[in-house]
Structure 1
Amino acid sequence: MNFAVIGAGNGGQCIAGYLSMLGYSVKQQDKNGELIKSLQEKGRIKLKGKVVGEASLDLVTTDVHQVIEDTDIIMVVTTADAHMEVAQEIAPFLQKNQIVILNPGHTGGALEFLHTIIQHGCLNIPVIAETQDLLFSCRAVSVGEVNVSGIKRVMDIASIPSEKASEVVDLFKDIFPQFRARPNVLYTSLNNLGAMVHPVPTLLNAGRIESQQSFDYYSEGITKGIANVMEQMDEERLSIGKALGVDLTSILQWQYEAYGIEADSIYEALTCNESYIGIKAPKTLDSRFLTEDVPCGLVPLVNIGRLLGIEMPVTQSFIETANSLLRKDYRKEGRNLEKLGIKNHLEELMHVIS
């Protein structure tokens, strides 16, 4: 197998470097010309922490066509709000025998990606898969040098068509043995825990963030009260799974599955997780914890809930708070049902995910 990694941020550099260290042919693309130039000059990607080593890539470029041409597996490792743009750019060049993996898809990623490439003239629909989350907890300390603070013990992955997920897992058994095939993309999309863990503490610490206070996001930014709000939002998400017959994972359960954290509360689990130690809160509200997780996490969640007739007052309140603070309309800009390729019928959703 050979790989294209689209995106050269924290996760993109980490995954590209890791795959290359294992001996695979890897090409990397990012639209940020200055970042790509710096990576080209650096010549290698170095990983430290939970993964140690360094490797060079076969190609580093801003040309997306060049990296996906004759490539078996396309790893999209961008923020979720860039998925639509990526889909638009690569739609004409995709081949049916390729596999696209969104790392991660967030909520509705594979659905939006499929709908977008069809709209933009893709004649050869590839397998489109999405992971529940990014496998690595990592931060680029400088260009080409990534600190890996944690590796999740298990990572759910699903695909469209749904039966292809097992084949993807088999392909990756020697690369990412953590991959676990799920019945369909509802299991990965509705288990987007970042949408629970990121917006609530960020918005409830808005004053500290805007006044440029430096604090650890998890150990200092999450109090027992904030954890209580996250738990209520999580309960609204779990109610969607119950209505659809999808066995979803709670935040507390995920902390055990992914990190081995045994705790009695969300507060205890998130503030004591060693993989989160040292992760600082964002310096601005214009952070992916809002600009990604609200439009690509909370908005599609509420829209799917609406299809089921489920009221989600806590989740909706945080969408409106983000809209007010950032002067946005994430209900319109985010992953609404139209962008997921679904109009207003549950039957449409169930048909697409099959």
Structure 2
Amino acid sequence: MKITVIGGGHGSYAAAADMSGKGHEVIWWRRDHGAFAPLLDAGEIRVDDHRGHRAQPIGTEGGITVEADLGRAVAGAETIIVPIPAFSHPDLAERIAPHLTDGQVVYLPPGSFGSVIFARAMADAGNSAKAAFAETGTLPYLARKHGGNRVVVSGYATRLPTGVFPAHDSERALAVLTKIYPVEPVEDALSGALMNAGPVIHPPLILMNAGPLEHFAAWDIHNEGTQDAIRRVTSALDAERIALRTALGYAAPHFPLADHYTADGDEWMYGNAAHDKLTDSGDWREHIDLHTHRYMTEDVEIGLALLTSVGHWAGVPTPVASGLLAIAGAITGRSPGSGGRTLAALGLDGLDRDGMKQVLREGFLS
């Protein structure tokens, strides 16, 4: 399969290496093309995971092709994998919209309802191609970059609940994605967005560890930062997410975050005992700036803002999410929802439930 990978973060490095290692033709694009220099100089991307150490060639025949032009990068690709932060979606959506063609599947892992941003950008660009946008609840990889040409993958996703926009194209889009990832169908893109684990796991961890994060040069919020009091808040926040999914008629499994922490519950997105894999790696002992880190700018100001806005629209209380969002605003001095991913910001808050279902199923009809 010809696959385009977008971005230069941890997930993009892991995706490019993973897809190339599985024998797919991989084209890789990022906004800052010059940042590919360490990879091109080395001629390879080094991968460390449970299978050991290996290298995938870069820029040579049979290897990953890095491309400076976005149009050329996506031309002919069956799947476009976009593991970039949600706050980068609007810019990429505008750039990529004119280039998408019939049958292409754009995968946002995770999406935070970004599928509607990409679809609307296509409509605004006057591109009527029948592309599909899919989103899931997490990155397919527990991964961290080390230097300019090495990525360490501590775990691979084993279950990726995935919704498609427009939903009427789900069967086709998911058939494509099943060839490369362990996707499981959910009802639509909003259902997929409400599987996003980041806005549930990260806000309590950074906000309730704010003191240590500002005091120590590096702190592992997933190791010593995960205490019982914080887990109880996380569980309450996740209960709000699940109550919202239930109220909207979305079916189980809801992938409760509690299963991420246990070895004997239902298999979560990264398999059983995924939390242990993450903490054992040591790769999440890091400096987190509470004003700029993506846990704040993406998971709080986009993810929690989306969750609370959907709750308000659906008449489902979200007091824990709202409280965390307010505390975050006090820390940063920015208004809640400054990430621009509320239903109001997306222009969807005026829909009733039937209208929302229509948009989710059919897309933006002209």
Q: Give deviations 1:300-351, integer Å, cap 9, x for gaps.
A: 1111111111221211111122222122224243202144341322333211
Aligned to 1:244: 248
Matches within 5 A, 1:1-354: 1-52=1-52, 53-56=54-57, 57-105=63-111, 107-176=112-181, 178-247=182-251, 248-255=254-261, 256-258=266-268, 259-261=270-272, 270=275, 273-277=276-280, 278=282, 279-285=284-290, 286-345=292-351, 346-354=353-361
- Give the aligned residue type for 2:159: V
The SS at the match of 2:26 is strand
Q: Give deviations 1:131-181, integer Å, cap 9, x for gaps.
A: 2211111111122211110112211122122243333343344432x2112
**What is the TM-score normalised by the length of structure 2?**
0.87
- Give the aligned residue type for 2:278: S
Q: Give deviations 1:50-74, integer Å, cap 9, x for gaps.
A: 2543222442134322211222211
Question: 1:22 Cα deviation (Å)?
Answer: 1.6
C-alpha contact (below 8 Å) 2:4/2:27 kept by paired residues: yes
Q: Measured at CA, do residues 125 and 320 of structure 1 come closer, stay the same or move farther in structure 2, by a change above 3 Å? A: farther
> How many pairs align?
344
Question: 1:254 Cα deviation (Å)?
Answer: 4.9
The SS at the match of 1:55 is strand
Question: 1:125 Cα deviation (Å)?
Answer: 4.0
Aligned to 2:60: none
Question: 1:116 Cα deviation (Å)?
Answer: 3.0
- In the alignment, the residues of structure 2 paired with residue 54 and residue 294 of structure 1 have an alpha-carbon distance, to the nearest angstrom, of 36
The sequence identity of aligned pairs, in percent, is: 26
Q: Give deviations 1:22-79, integer Å, cap 9, x for gaps.
A: 2211111111244222222222112111254322244213432221122221111111
Please list every run of 5 or more consecutive structure 2 residues that lacks an aligned counterpart in the other structure.
Answer: 58-62, 362-366
Stretch moving more, 221-230 or 326-335: 326-335
Q: Give deviations 1:249-290, integer Å, cap 9, x for gaps.
A: 31113554234437xxxxxx85xx223321214431121111
Stretch moving more, 26-35 or 327-336: 327-336
- In the alignment, the residues of structure 1 paired with residue 349 and residue 21 of structure 2 have an alpha-carbon distance, to the nearest angstrom, of 44
Q: Measured at CA, do residues 202 and 238 of structure 1 come closer, stay the same or move farther in structure 2, by a change above 3 Å? A: same
Q: Measured at CA, do residues 50 and 353 of structure 1 come closer, stay the same or move farther in structure 2, by a change above 3 Å? A: farther
- In the alignment, the residues of structure 1 paired with residue 237 and residue 79 of structure 2 have an alpha-carbon distance, to the nearest angstrom, of 35
Q: Give deviations 1:104-135, integer Å, cap 9, x for gaps.
A: 21x21212322233234333241111122111
**What is the TM-score normalised by the length of structure 1?**
0.90
Aligned to 1:265: none
C-alpha contact (below 8 Å) 2:301/2:339 kept by paired residues: yes
- In the alignment, the residues of structure 2 paired with residue 34 and residue 202 of structure 1 have an alpha-carbon distance, to the nearest angstrom, of 32
- In the alignment, the residues of structure 2 paired with residue 214 and residue 331 of structure 1 have an alpha-carbon distance, to the nearest angstrom, of 27
- In the alignment, the residues of structure 2 paired with residue 325 and residue 24 of structure 1 have an alpha-carbon distance, to the nearest angstrom, of 45
Q: Measured at CA, do residues 61 and 323 of structure 1 come closer, stay the same or move farther in structure 2, by a change above 3 Å? A: farther
- In the alignment, the residues of structure 2 paired with residue 51 and residue 132 of structure 1 have an alpha-carbon distance, to the nearest angstrom, of 25
